[in-house]
Amino acid sequence: MRPRKVPLRKCVACQEMMPKKELIRIVRTPSGEVAIDLTGKKAGRGAYLCGKVSCFKLAKKTKALDRALKQPVGDDIYDALEKEFIAVEDQFIAAKELESDDDEA
Ligand SMILES: [Zn+2]
């Protein structure tokens, strides 16, 4: 028997396939706003990044979010997202640890 499949998503920066839980979702809302979506449930086109600032920096350098979200993302938006990303990184890691024995799909 094969183990239950974990949903995988690709990090838009390093192109690695990772379980969805390990990734931070960036969403472009229907109104065109680009934001970090920690719940993973916001409506809009999503792009995934490893929960690491290094991957965010790579995405910024390569403009990976522009491509993934099919919208030009300005430098000011990258800068704002980067600050937010750094702020949520700890939260994200802490939440993952909390969740580790409670496997809700
Ligand atoms: Zn990555």
Across the range 71-85, mean pLDDT stands at: 95
Q: Which one is predicted more confidently, 105 or 96?
A: 96
Q: Domains (ranges, CATH) in the chain?
A: 8-97 (3.30.1230.10)
User: What is this structure's pTM?
Assistant: 0.82
| Cα 12 to averaged position of ligand 1 atoms, centre (Å) | 7
- Mean of the per-residue pLDDT values of the chain: 89
| Cα 82 to averaged position of ligand 1 atoms, centre (Å) | 14
| Cα 26 to averaged position of ligand 1 atoms, centre (Å) | 13
| Cα 91 to averaged position of ligand 1 atoms, centre (Å) | 18
SS3 content of the chain, % helix, strand, coil (to 5): 40, 20, 35
94 has pLDDT over 90:
no
| Cα 3 to averaged position of ligand 1 atoms, centre (Å) | 25
